[in-house]
Each structure stands twice: as C-alpha cells, then as structure tokens.
C-alpha cells in the first residue's frame, strides 16, 4: 500500500511557517527542496546518538556511523539501479560530481584534438568544467544547439559526433525550461562512436525514471538537496570500467592504500575518489529521503506532478502579456516566464510579499537566456508537496503584481 499524496505538506515542518504574514507557498524546488521530518530526525539522531568519524575507528560509535554511511551507499545503489556500490561515489553535490569527471576522466582519456560535446541548455556546472577541460588539454569544445521550443537538435547532434568525440555531457531536465531530453537516443548515438555520456540528473532524479543501467549511461550525477535530503551531499554514479581507469580527483586521507616516501598506492573503489572526512550526515539524510520517497508509487507521483504542471501552464498562459519560455514536447516540474513591462526580479520580490517563493535570474544558464534575448526569468518549480492551491496562489499573485504596477 503506497502513501497518499493527501496531506503530504504535514510531513514538512517548514511549510507551516508564515512569510510576510502569509502562509508559505514554496515554488523554488529547482534550487532546493524542503526536508520532511523523517530526514531531519535522521540527521538529529546521528548527531545525538552515534556521531563519530567513519572507516577508521574500531569503537562502537565509529562502527555504527560507518554502518549507517555504507548502508546509505547501498540504498543509493538500489535507488538508481547501479550494478555495485563500488560505482557510487559520494560528493558535495552535482557540481563536484561533474568536476570530478571533467578532471579525472579528462586526465585519463582526453588528448589534444579530441572533442567534448555539451549542449546549449546546460546549467553552468555542466558547461564550464568541459570548457576548462578543453582549454587544459587542447581539445575541441562543441555545443549542441537547441531550437526556440527549447529542444535539442538531434540531427545536429549526429553531425557533431566523430571518432574523436570522447564524452557527451547532457542534462536530463533543463533547470531553466523544464525540457526533458531524449536520453536514450542521445546515449545510443554517442556510444555508436565510442563516446562516454555523462547525464546531469539534478533536476530529473526526483521526478523521472533514473535507472542508470536501463539508460546505459556512463556517468550520472545528482544532488541530495534537490530530492528532500540535506545540502552538501551529492552522488556520482560511474560505470566501474571507467572509474577503475580514472586517477583520483583529490588526495589525502581515506583514498590511499599505502603511502611511502617513494610513492603512494590508492584505495579501492569507491574510496579512491573520497578523500578526507566526508559529510557523514549527508548520506544518512539522503538514505532517509530515499526511504521517504519509497512510500509513494513513482508512476502516480510523476502523473500528479505532470498534471499539476499542465494546470499551471494553462492558467499562466491565460494571463495577458505573460510569456512562457520553451515549448518542448515533454516538460517536467519547471515553468519559466516573464510579464511584459515587469522586471523578473521585481516580480519575485513582490510575490514574496504574499509569501510566494519563486526563483528569478538567469538560473546559471546564461546561454539559454542569450538564446531568447532576455536577462532572466521568473521560475516556478514543483515538488511532491505542492498543490493546486499553491498554483492558484501563484496565479493570483502574478495578477496582483500586474494590477499593482498597472500592467
């Protein structure tokens, strides 16, 4: 029996607070999600009951903390259907996961004259690291364009791929437009020329299917804080065949096997990539978030969020002089818009007066803004606890701002 979506808000204590004298309507989930009480309790229980460093101690608290940390790794393995916990590396977030691959895969496999392909719709964290890698190695940086609907041009992708393409980096869901990309087609095409594929799953893992073996993806990166877990914890999944050949990203404690004056040998996977004392509470909180999500039927959850997004798009689209950016065939969780004559930052500030939290700006996706010739947008992004009443509040808030400013 799966948990009902009814009264889900009651699981999230922060959603009971008021902002500027109004009930909080939280629509900035693309930036970070709120945390259910069970996640907060798991973190509190760690600090109050068995706080200790891990892997290196043989006392009771250390062993309890180590067990919880490694149990979380196995839970992540099952959550994304990885073949082994050796393929699950804990990082600080999606950004560090991508930088790890850009540095380590780049050192092992990218030479002068090789090619890296990313896309015009990427978050800067899946764009800039590849630019820098190409600059370091003398490789060619290629960018797959998108059209005015916010969809990638697969015909152009085929023409960009060559035998020198070493890696393709693509987002699962655009953080600025909500576009759901055709990963299976992209991965198949990339593999046909021998290229590896990294998928940025930061905006996808909590909304869509994330079976890494089903996708046959080489690397998959995501952040806990966008799926109801704490900040400061991320995951890099990598196929073992790649990770074994890649050099360490950072050095220090834990990632070593033996250190001598004459040289150093490295630990086994995944610890080779986890230098230093980790964010121990992070995986514990992430495991609690995975358990929380497991209470819901994933198909029902996806359908609910899609219906809620469709409702929001329809109501926003009925507002005069409001432009919604992107019109992809498939969209998930995100809608970005502007109202003619109202600066996006002003819209966000005035909505906040009514307790409505949205994101404004370029969303770390400036190439997208350049494509549409705008400096930024208002972005509403959905989560499991959002309701039709929340979306009505957003629409009414936009209409109030328009009236207040005479637009």
Mind telling me the catalytic residues? 364
Helices (H), 216-273: 240-243
Tokens representing 129? 């690291």
Contact 334, 150 (CB under 8 A): no
Close Cβ partners of 376 (under 8 Å, ≥ 6 residues apart): 344, 345, 360, 361, 362, 363, 369
Host H or E run for residue 219: strand 219-223
Tell me the helices (H) and strands (E) count for the chain, helix number first: 13, 17
The CB-side HSE value for 85 (13 A sphere, CA atoms) comes to: 9
CA-CA distance, 165 to 185, in Å (whole number)?
16
Q: Is 355 left (phi over 0), alpha (psi -120 to 50) or beta?
A: left
Helix (H, G, I), strand (E, B) or coil at 127: coil
Exposed (0-12), middle (13-18) or buried (19+): which is 7, by Cβ within 10 Å? exposed
């Amino acid at each position: 029996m799966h948990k009902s979506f009814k009264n889900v808000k009651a699981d999230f204590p922060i959603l009971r607070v008021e902002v500027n004298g109004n009930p909080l309507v939280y629509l900035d989930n693309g930036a970070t999600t709120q945390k259910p009480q069970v996640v907060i309790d798991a973190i509190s229980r760690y600090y109050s009951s068995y706080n200790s460093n891990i892997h290196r101690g043989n006392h009771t608290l250390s062993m309890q903390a180590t067990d919880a940390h490694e149990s979380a790794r196995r839970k992540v393995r099952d959550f994304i259907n990885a073949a082994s916990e050796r393929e699950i590396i804990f990082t600080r977030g999606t950004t560090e996961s991508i930088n790890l691959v850009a540095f380590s895969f780049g050192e092992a496999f990218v030479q002068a004259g090789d090619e890296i392909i990313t896309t015009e719709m990427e978050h800067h964290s899946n764009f800039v690291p590849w630019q820098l890698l190409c600059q370091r190695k003398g490789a060619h940086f290629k960018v797959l364009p998108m059209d005015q609907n916010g969809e990638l041009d697969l015909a152009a992708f085929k023409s960009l791929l060559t035998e020198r393409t070493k890696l393709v980096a693509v987002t699962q869901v655009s953080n600025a437009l909500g576009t759901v990309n055709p990963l299976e087609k992209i991965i198949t095409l990339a593999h046909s020329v021998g290229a590896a594929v990294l998928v940025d799953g930061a905006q996808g893992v909590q909304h869509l299917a994330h079976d890494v073996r089903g996708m046959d993806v080489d690397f998959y990166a995501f952040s806990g804080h966008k799926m109801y877990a704490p900040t400061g914890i991320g995951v890099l999944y990598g196929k073992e065949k790649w990770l074994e050949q890649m050099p360490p990203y950072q050095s220090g404690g834990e990632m070593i096997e033996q250190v001598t004056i004459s040289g150093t040998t490295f630990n086994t996977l995944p610890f080779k990539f986890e230098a230093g004392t980790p964010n121990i509470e992070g995986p514990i909180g992430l495991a609690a978030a995975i358990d929380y999500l497991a209470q819901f039927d994933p198909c029902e959850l996806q359908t609910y969020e899609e219906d809620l997004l469709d409702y929001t798009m329809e109501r926003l689209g009925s507002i005069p002089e409001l432009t919604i950016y992107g019109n992809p065939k498939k969209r998930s969780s995100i809608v970005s818009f502007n109202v003619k004559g109202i600066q996006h930052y002003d819209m966000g500030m005035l909505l906040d007066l009514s307790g409505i939290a949205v994101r404004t700006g370029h969303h770390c996706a400036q190439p997208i803004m350049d494509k549409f010739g705008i400096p930024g947008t208002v972005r509403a992004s959905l989560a499991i606890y959002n309701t039709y009443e929340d979306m009505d509040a957003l629409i009414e808030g936009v209409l109030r701002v328009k009236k207040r400013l005479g637009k």
